[in-house]
Amino acid sequence: MATETHATNGEGLADATGVASHSADAAPGMPQLDFGTFPNQVFWLVVTLVVIYLILSRVALPRISAILAERAGTITNDIAAAEDLKAKALEAEEAYNKALADARSEAQRIVAAAKADIQSDLDVAIEKADAEIAAKSAESEKAIAEIRAGALEAIEEVAKETAAELVTAMGGNADAATIDGAVSARVKG
Partner 1 sequence: MATEAHGAEEGGLVFHPMDQFIVKPLFGDGPVAWYTPTNVTLWMAITILAVIALLVLSTSRRSIVPSRGQSVAELAYGFIYKMVEDVTGKEGLKYFPYIMTLFMFIVLANFLGLLPMAFTTTSHIAVTALLAMAVFLTVTILGFVKNGASFLGLFWVSSAPLALRPVLAVIEIISYFVRPVSHSIRLAGNMMAGHAVIKVFAAFAAIAAISPLSVVAITAMYGLEVLVAFIQAYVFTILTCVYLKDALHPHH
Partner 2 sequence: MEGDIVQMGAFIGAGLASIGMGGAAVGVGNVAGNYLAGALRNPSAAASQTATLFIGIAFAEALGIFSFLVALLLMFAV
**Contact characters 69-108, partner 2, x per CB under 8 A:** ----------------------------------------
Is residue 81 close enough to count as binding partner 1 by CB under 8 A? Answer: no
For residues 10 and 26, give the distance between their C-alpha atoms in angstroms, rounded to a whole number: 9
110: part of which helix (H) or strand (E)?
A: helix 61-169
- Using the minimum distance from each CB to partner 2, give the nearer residue, 8 or 140: 8
60 binds, among partner 1, partner 2, none (CB under 5 to 8 A by kind): partner 1
Stretch that binds partner 1, among 64-72, 87-95, 113-121, 141-149 (CB under 8 A): 64-72
153: part of which helix (H) or strand (E)?
A: helix 61-169
Q: Which of residues 1-60 bind partner 1 (CB under 8 A)?
A: 1, 18-20, 22, 25-26, 29-34, 36-49, 51-53, 55-57, 59-60
Residue 9: partners with Cβ closer than 8 Å, 6 or more residues away: 23, 28
28 binds, among partner 1, partner 2, none (CB under 5 to 8 A by kind): partner 2
Is residue 30 close enough to count as binding partner 2 by CB under 8 A? Answer: yes
DSSP state for residue 18 in the 8-state scheme? S
For residues 38 and 174, give the distance between their C-alpha atoms in angstroms, rounded to a whole number: 184
CA distances from 87 to 98, 99, 127 (A): 16, 18, 59
Is residue 36 close enough to count as binding partner 2 by CB under 8 A? Answer: no
Could you tell me the smallest distance in angstroms from the CB atom of residue 11 to partner 1? Answer: 13
DSSP state for residue 69 in the 8-state scheme? H
